[in-house]
Amino acid sequence: MAQIATIVPIMLTVGANRIVPGVAIPHPVGNPEAGPEEDKKVRRKLVLRALKALQTEIFEQTIFDSD
Amino acid sequence: MAYRVVHYINQFYGGKGGEEVADFKPSLEQGPVGPGSELQKLFGDEARVTGTIICGDGYYAEHIEKARAECLKIVEELKPDLFIAGPAFNAGRYGVACGDICAAVVERLGIPSVTGMFPENPGVELYSKQIFIVKTADSAMGMREALTSMARLGLKLLKREPLGSAFEEGYIHRGIRKNFFKEKRGSLRAIDMLLQKIAGQEFRTEYEMPVFKKIPPAPPIKDLKHATIALVTSGGIVPRGNPDRLRVSSAESYAKYDISGLDDLTPENFESIHGGYDRMWANVDPDVVVPLDVMRELEREGVFNKLHPYLYTTTGTGTSVANAERFGREIGHELKEAGVDGVILTST
């Protein structure tokens, strides 16, 4: 499981192992304020990052914050 | 007249032997045995250990209902004013036996009970909400301290003296909160605590955070192109009208919805009912919380094989850790049964 959410310290505290930082609390996988194109672009980027996290071998809690 | 106390111990502390006699059936001995002698000294003239039940850890664990009934029968006949079990320290089966028999004595016979365990003993998680479990060391090195706290708490219960906080009384908190007035208001107490912390002094929280379990990471997906991926959210995204009445906060349930026929979440088909964040954007386009549109694209592009037909959803605000753990266990189990290889969980 990979978790996408915005408050990384909470994900670390509750024990998520594959962590992908999201955009904002009310829209973790989107940036609607930046318009529909940018919104979808960032969503695709974060989902691809989560899929990459799922394919990555890890031994401890890991934050995937770059591609 | 002294109070009457019955003490429960295992075969080892009862002097019957070790693992080879772990199937020792519950038996009664008159007066204190083993750690009970020290307990008797601590009680002094105030209470008398009239009988000791000795039972093998293996016997209790393997025949829990039978062992409980047999022990209860002995306790009922002795009619004690207080029941003490252990301490079990970090011994798992012993801890579960002590917790189980104490809970039964309290519930069925209405007799106050005290046991003692190391906080990581599995008996703590099972019984700490129901009974008084004094915090002990992890081994019998801490016997004296354990018995001292147990006797002190036991006497308080016998005399129906008002109890202080779990921390003051030395037992593992039972999740009960009492309202009372403090001289200083909360903000001042918080500042005091902060100053103590900065000064490197000892300080104590008024509200302990739950301790979360560390879960070993799952192995990675080897072949994403042939993998099934599921979407799970704690962002409160539900079909319009919230057909299952999912709670807006403090969720006690989760729901699953068939998304196999959908390419996109829109305000016409889905909405957010989450009570813990500003729902404006989620209600303009629920994909900003549950990325269905992008998942469909990637599925079509063959990045992964298949999107699982069901979306699992709950509300992650004010939700108890116990409920959240249950949701996770149940959802995980269903997804595994359904052959899902990986999950993307989105949280707000």
pLDDT per residue as tens, chain B (348 positions): 799 999 999 999 999 999 999 999 999 999 999 999 999 999 999 999 999 999 999 999 999 999 999 999 999 999 999 999 999 999 999 999 999 999 999 999 999 999 999 999 999 989 999 999 999 999 999 999 999 999 999 999 999 999 988 989 999 999 888 888 999 999 999 999 999 999 999 998 887 777 787 889 999 999 999 999 999 999 999 999 999 999 999 999 999 999 999 999 999 999 999 999 999 999 999 999 999 999 999 999 999 999 999 999 999 998 988 899 999 999 999 999 999 999 999 999
Query: Per the confidence metrics, is the pTM higher than 0.80?
Result: no
Q: Report phi then psi at B54, rounded to 5.
A: -110, 130
| B175 domain residue, yes or no | no
Tell me, yes or no, whether B7 and B130 share the same domain: yes
Contact B314, B255 (CB under 8 A): yes
Final residue before a domain boundary, out of B123, B141, B169: B169
Give chain B positions within 8 Å (CB) of A61: 217
The last residue of one of the domains, among B133, B150, B169, is B169
Domain assignment of residue B297, yes or no:
yes
B100 and B239 belong to one structural domain:
no
**Which residue of chain A has the CA closest to B295?**
A47
3-state SS, residue B298: helix
Measured CA angle at B20 (ends B15, B26), to 5 deg:
55
How many domains, chain B?
Answer: 2
Do B255 and B321 belong together in one domain?
yes
Has residue B215 been placed in a domain? no
Residues B135 and B44 in one domain: yes
B166: three-class secondary structure by DSSP: helix
In a domain, B268, yes or no: yes
A22 contact B CB<8A: yes
Residue B47 to residue B4: CA distance in whole angstroms = 6
- In a domain? residue B184: no
Query: Which candidate in A33, A38, A43 is best for mutational testing of the B interface (most B CBs within 10 A)?
Result: A43
- ipTM of the complex model: 0.98
**Which residues on chain A are in Cβ contact (under 8 Å) with B308?**
none
DSSP per-residue string spanning chain A: -EEEES-HHHHHHHT-SEEEE-SBTTBTT--GGG-HHHHHHHHHHHHHHHHHHHTS--SS-EE----
Residues B37 and B161 in one domain: yes
Residues of A in contact with B212 (CB under 8 A): 13-15
User: Which has the closest alpha carbon to B51: B16, B87, B7?
Assistant: B7
Q: Are residues B160 and B16 part of one domain?
A: yes
> Residue B216's CB: how many other CB atoms inside 10 A?
9
Residue type, B281: W
A38 touches chain B (CB under 8 A): no
pLDDT of amino acid B88: 97
What confidence score (pLDDT) does residue B113 get? 98
Contact B288 A30 (CB under 8 A): yes
Tell me which chain A residue has its CA closest to the CA of residue B220. Answer: A55
CA-wise closest residue to B242 among B264, B211, B274, B206: B274
Same domain for B237 and B162?
no
Q: Which domain holds residue B131?
A: 3-169
Answer whether A25 sits within 8 Å of B348, measured CB to CB: yes
Considering only CB atoms, which chain B residues are within 8 Å of A29? 287-291, 294, 346
A30 touches chain B (CB under 8 A): yes
For residue A29, the distance in angstroms to the closest alpha carbon of chain B comes to 5
Q: Is the Cβ pair B345, A60 closer than 8 Å? A: no
Taking the C-alpha atoms of residue B232 and residue B170, their distance in angstroms, rounded to an integer, is 41
Reading the block at residue A46, the tokens are 């974060």
**DSSP characters for B33-71?**
-THHHHHHHHHTTSEEEEEEEEE-HHHHHHTHHHHHHHH
Sorted by sequence, the CB contacts under 8 Å of residue B242 that are 6+ apart come out as: B271, B273
Is A27–B281 a contact, with Cβ atoms under 8 angstroms apart?
yes
Q: Does A40 touch chain B (CB under 8 A)?
A: yes
Cα separation, B303 vs B317, whole angstroms: 33
Q: How many residues are given for chain A?
A: 67
CATH number, residue B152: 3.40.50.2300
Chains A, B: CB pairs < 8 Å: 122
* Phi, psi for A34 (deg, rounded to 5): -90, 5
Predicted confidence at residue B209, as pLDDT, reads 75
The helix (run of H) or strand (run of E) holding residue B7 is strand B3-10
Residue of chain B with shortest Cα separation from A8:
B347
Pairwise CB contact (< 8 Å): A43 & B294: yes
Residues of chain A with pLDDT under 70: none
Q: Does a structural domain hold residue B234?
A: yes
Looking at the structure, tell me whether residues B165 and B266 fall in a common domain.
no
pLDDT at residue A6, as a whole number? 94
